[in-house]
Each structure stands twice: as C-alpha cells, then as structure tokens.
A and B are shown apart, each in its own frame.
Chain A
Amino acid sequence: MLEFAEVSFAYPTATAPALDGVSFSLEPGQLLVVVGANGSGKSTLARLCDGLLTPGGGRVLVDGLDTADVSLVWDIRVKVGMVFQDPDDQIVGTTVDDDCAFGPENLGLPPEEIVARVAEALTSVGMDGLERREPHLLSEGQKQRLAIAGALAMGPRYLVFDEPSAMLDPAGRRSAIAIIERLAHEQGHGVLLVSHDAADVARADRALALSGGCVVFEGAPEDLLADAALLRACGLATGSMGVLGERLRALGLAVPVGALEAESVVDALWP
C-alpha cells in the first residue's frame, strides 16, 4: 500500500504550505485520480510519492518503507514509477529500446532480464515495432507511451502520472488514458493519476480533490462529478458533454453523470 499520513509540505520561500495534513492510501490494482485547480498541490503530492520531495510533517509510506529514510530511497523508487507531463523531460536514450532499458540497466539486472523487461514494457503500451526508432522522431503520444514504458520496465508496484495527457491531441489522450486504466485494472498496478480532465475522473475507482493544499473530497468519482460547485472549486468542468448528459437525463434517458465522452454516452444509450 502507498500511504500518506497527515502529510504537510512547504516550499522554502513560500508563505503558505503547498500541502497541509493530507492523508489517503492507494492499493495495488486501484486507479486513484487526484484533481484540484492549478496551484492546489497536486504535483507536490505526486513528487512526495517516491521521495523526490520528503514531507515536512507526517509520513509517506510505500509498502511500509518511509520516504524520509534516505537509505531506502532506491528501494522506494523501484516500487514507485513516475511519469511526468512532458515526456521530453524523461527520455534519455538514443533509440526507443535504449531509453526503455535505461532504468533496468541502472538496477544492475542481467542483460537477458533487461531485454525481456523492455520487450514486455513496450508491448504493454503498444510500441511493438518501434524499438529502433529515435525518440525525437516519435509523435507526442508515442513519446508519452515510451515514458510510461520506461517506468514500467523498472517493475514498479505503483505508478504516478502527473497530467500525462496535457500536451496530447484528443486521440493521443484517449489512448494514454486507456493504457493507464489497463495498467491498474488488468496488470494490478496501483495508479495515481493527476488530472484536469473530468472524463478521467469518471474512469477512476476513487477520487481525491485538493484545494489550497488540503483534501476537500475523497470518495466515489460519481459523487464528485455530481457536485457541480465542488467540481468548479477543483478547477474541473464537465463542459458541453456535462450539459448534454443533463439534457438527455431530462428527456428520461439513463445516462450516468460520469458519461462525459462520446463512447460512454453511446454505450449508456445503447447498452
């Protein structure tokens, strides 16, 4: 389990804490979405998960390992994979497979194990056949998938995604979120997804909302999506698809509040 217990954090020059008394837990196999307006503390929370930042107060435990204990940092980083907003920030290899092998090579694994892990990671993000491609020739969506594969090749139990689809086009966004969902629900990773997209909330098992560094909601995604005022306070909008759902419900059609994408609306109307 990845666990935050009363975690607080303040940046050195800031007047207010970025996070204040945040508690939650994430189990393997679970998709937890973290939402909140710009500046609410989401990225700080993500960086605390693997000890990139350590709490000023409270504790972050990864399968019982305390991130504040410097001697445990490598064990923790093997367990928690991070994928950032801009894949260019974390791609280092000259080819796709080289890049994906960077993490496991640093773990000192035997070459045959590295080759197997790279192949498996690239397959699970749908990058078969692109192994020898130079990363700068990939599309943004492919780069983001490579960044995910690089994290996967480390064999983590938990994966933390900090707005992985912010720079993608709509098709790339849908493909990235489908992969993220599969990693949690089919491959059993505990996934923490930071997002500004109400449609991502609908796909999660649980939602956590931050405002001003504090948890203002933790619970079922549909309860968050049904609370328009809270959504707005968290910088989320269901947009014209939210309105379409309302109109369809008013016409007596059974469309759930979480149906915010074309596919989920059509599936609800014609099950």
Chain B
Amino acid sequence: MALTLADITCEYAEGSPLSYRALESVSLSIEPGELVLLLGPTGSGKTTLLRAAAGLLPSSAGTVEVDGVRIGVRGAQRAAVGMLFQRPESQFFALSVEEDCAFGPRNLGRSDKDARADGRAALAQVGLDPSTFGPREPWTLSGGEARRAALAGVLAMRPRYLLLDEPTAGLDAVGRDSVAAVIERTRHTAGVLVVTHDPDLLIRRADRVLVMSEGRTAFSGDVPAFLAALPALTATGAAEAPEVLRTLMLAERRLGRAGATPTLDVDEAASSLARMCAEGGVPR
C-alpha cells in the first residue's frame, strides 16, 4: 500500500506564452504510518506537488497511484487522500463546528448519522471535546482551535493518506505544539506528508525528508542523510537547517573549520560550541 507519484511534471497555463513549469519529473512514495516532511523555499513547487498528489491537478506527465490504482478527478481513490490547504480555517462555512466536520464524510455518501459520528470522532482525535466544541460557531474559535477543527474536517473522511500544507503557519506556540501533536498521533492511522517552513517542527519524528528546489527534487532520504546533506543544500538555498544545527554550522564557518557531526541534539550542540570556545577558536 502506498501513495505513489511517478515522474510528475506539472505546467501551469500549458501551451500559452505564460506557461510555467512548476514541477519537473518529481517522484515520491509514501506508505501508511510514515511521516514525510516536504521542505524547500517559497515557489519551489511544494504546494503544486501536494495538489498533484491529491489528484487536484492534471499532471502534464507522470502518474499518481493510490494503493496501486491510478487517481482520477472523481472516484474512490480521491477519498483515500485528505488534504489540508494553507489557512484552512478560511474554508469554514457551516454554522457549527460539528456540522462543518460532518460535511466531508456526508459527501462521501455516508449516512447523516455516520457522518456526524465521524465528525465527532475526528474532533476528539484533534483534542477538541466534541460536546464543547461541536456546537460552537467556527469563527468563534481561537487560531489554534480553528486550525485543529479544520484538520478534524479532513480526518473525519478517514483518509489513508494525509497531505498538510503549512499546517502551523501563523499559529502561536501553543497552537503549533497542539497541531504537531495531532500529526504525531495521526501517523498511526495514515501516511502523512507535511509541507513546512519550520524545519524544527517535526524533524525529530519524521521518517523521511524531501527537499524541492525550482520544481525539482533537491534531496530525498531519511533524516540522518538529510542532516548530512544540509551543508550542500543550504549552500544552494534549497533548504534551511533547523536553527540549532544552523548555529553550529555558522560557528564552524566563522572559525574556518570542517563540519562536525550534524546533530539535532541541543546538549550535543552546546558541548560542541563550548569546545570550540575552549579551544580558542578565532573567527576568520
């Protein structure tokens, strides 16, 4: 079982003078239970890739398959892939949170009773008590609550693959942590692909990292390989190191040293920096 994108090329306004190739031969496979981070600067094609994976964009070339079956504009395969867009709380339209969460499953043909039950279960899954939050008007929620309620609306459809486009952008620290916790829990029931500009957010929990640059894959591999590739990826501007590691890399560059072992461990980083100071490193 996997969501598989093979050699996807996407061109906007194809054939017109305004045509713009957003993706060029990108491949990706994600299995249920996996957490994959999708990184890269703005404009590198991350959102386009997510839309292609959800079957929302006709690709110019390549195929998207869900568990071995090619995804179509309509059909069962679409229901297996849930997508949370950027700033999803702007898509609330129902008069209550519960009603909003039941909309998706109802559209999948589930009975009204089942759809509501799915919506309530999803609210509980994101840590919003259904009896407290279900009757609330969506626009009375705080930023973090609204983001989780929007996520519940997608989870209510019980997707096998979940695509999240910058799920923590614009949230405060509490909201960010609560959304990260939901993602962590959700990976047990679905394959999760997360686009983020906050490499610190989930890097310790991710199985794999994909880095996009100008519509192409700049890196694909596990987290240790990603950390090892960071000096090269940051040099081209394709990726940013998590801030603690960026501090180490900057210190090494200032002192004109060769790169030490890349680490996400704060204690290890602090010891390395202290050692560099003790050894009397002088900046170049």
Which residues does A use to contact B, with CB under 8 Å?
37-39, 85, 139-141, 163, 166-173, 196, 232, 234-237, 239-241, 243-244, 247-248, 251, 253, 261-263, 265-266, 269-270
Query: Knowing that A39-B142, A243-B266, A248-B274 are A-B contacts, what are 18 other residue pairs whose CB atoms are under 8 Å apart, sorted by A's residue number?
Result: A38-B172, A139-B41, A167-B42, A167-B166, A170-B199, A172-B41, A173-B197, A196-B171, A237-B173, A237-B177, A239-B173, A244-B270, A248-B270, A251-B271, A253-B277, A265-B247, A265-B273, A270-B283
Contact (Cβ within 8 A) A269 B277: yes
Judged by a CB distance under 8 angstroms, whether B269 is at the interface is yes
Q: In whole angstroms, what is the CA distance A261 to B200 when docked?
A: 13
Q: Are A266 and B247 in contact (CB under 8 A)?
A: yes
| CB-defined contacts of A85 to chain B, threshold 8 Å | 170
Q: Given the known inter-chain contacts A196-B173, A270-B281, please indicate yes or no for A262 contacting B243, CB distance below 8 A.
A: yes
Chain B residues 165-190 with CB under 8 Å of chain A are: 166, 169-177
> Which residue numbers of B lie inside 8 Å of A, CB to CB?
41-43, 86, 142-144, 166, 169-177, 197, 199-200, 237, 240, 242-244, 246-247, 249-251, 254-255, 266-267, 269-271, 273-274, 276-277, 281-283
A38 to B175, CA, bound (A): 8
Contact A196 B250 (CB under 8 A): no
Contact between A261 and B240, CB atoms less than 8 A apart: no
A140→B40 CA distance, assembly (Å): 13
Q: A196 to B142, alpha carbons, bound, how many Å? A: 14
Are A166 and B170 closer than 8 Å at their CB atoms?
Answer: yes
Choose among B172, B266, B274 the residue that contacts A196 (Cβ–Cβ < 8 A): B172
Tell whether, in the assembled complex, residue A239 and residue B142 are in contact, meaning their CB atoms are under 8 Å apart: no
| Distance between Cα atoms of A118 and B177 in the complex (Å) | 42
Contact present for B269 and A244 (CB under 8 Å): yes
Contact of A269 among B243, B244, B246, B251 (CB under 8 A): B251
Given contacts A163-B170, A235-B175, A239-B200, contact A38 B247 (CB under 8 A): no
Chain A residues near B244 (CB, 8 Å)?
A: 240-241, 244
> Shortest Cβ distance from A267 into chain B, in angstroms?
9
Are the C-beta atoms of A240 and B42 separated by less than 8 Å? Answer: no
User: Is the Cβ of A171 less than 8 Å from the Cβ of B41?
Assistant: yes
Q: With a CB–CB cut-off of 8 A, which chain A residues contact B246?
A: 262
Tell whether, in the assembled complex, residue A139 and residue B240 are in contact, meaning their CB atoms are under 8 Å apart: no
Give the residue among A39, A172, A251, A266 with the most B Cβ atoms within 10 A: A266
Which residue of B has the minimal Cβ distance to A144? B42
A232 close to B173 (CB less than 8 A): yes
CB-CB under 8 A for A240 and B243, given A38-B142, A168-B197, A269-B277:
yes
Pair B172/A247 contact, Cβ less than 8 Å: no
B254 → chain A, closest Cβ, in Å? 6
Q: How far is the CA of A265 from the CA of B267 in the complex (A)?
A: 15
Report how far A140 CA is from B244 CA in the complex, Å. Answer: 25
- Distance between Cα atoms of A38 and B276 in the complex (Å): 40
B245, chain A: closest CB distance, angstroms: 9
Q: Are A247 and B266 in contact (CB under 8 A)?
A: yes
Please give the distance in Å from A114's CB to the nearest CB on chain B. 29
Whole-angstrom CA separation of A244 from B200 in the bound complex: 13
Indicate if the CB atoms of B243 and A241 lie closer than 8 Å: yes
Complex: how many Å from CA A265 to CA B266? 13
The residue of chain A having its C-beta at the shortest distance from the C-beta of B172 within the complex is A235
Beta-carbon contact of B41 and A169 below 8 Å: yes
List residues of chain A with CB within 8 A of the CB of B249. 262
Q: Is the CB of B200 within 8 A of A196?
A: no
